[in-house]
Amino acid sequence: MRGLGLLAAALALTACDLSETADKAMRRTAETVVQPVVDDYLPGDQAEVATRCIVENATSEDLRLLVRDVAVEAGTSTVNNVLDIAMRPETQSCLIREGLPTLLGGLQ
C-alpha cells in the first residue's frame, strides 16, 4: 500500500514538472515573438528586459496567441496583443522595478 502512495506522489510530481516545463517552453517561445515588437520601441538591453516583463505577465491565453506567430513577422494583431500586455498594471510595475520607463507612452 505504501508503494502505491509513493508511486502516486511520484506521478503527481512528474505531472507538475511537465506542466511547468511546458509553461517555460511556451514563455521562451513567446519571447521570440515579443522581442522583435519591443525592439521597435526600446533599445537593446531595455528591450530584452521589457520583453521579459511582458512575457512574465502574459496569461496562458496571451501566450497561445503569441506563439502562433513564431517565425513570421508580427502583424497588427500580434503587435496589439504585445501592447495590451505591456499596458497592464502588473507589467508596468515590472518595468518600473527594472528601472525602465513605463511603456504607456513609449509603445503608443
Per-domain residue ranges of the chain: 23-106
Residue 8, pLDDT score:
52
pLDDT of residue 69: 79
Q: How far is CA 5 from the centre of its chain?
A: 36
Name the one residue in this structure whose C-alpha cell is 511556451: 26
The residue type at 21:
T
Higher pLDDT, 75 or 97: 97
Q: Is the distance from CB of 56 to CB of 26 less than 8 angstroms? A: no
Structure confidence by residue, pLDDT tens digits, 4-63: 454 455 445 555 577 778 788 889 999 999 999 999 989 989 999 999 999 999 999 999
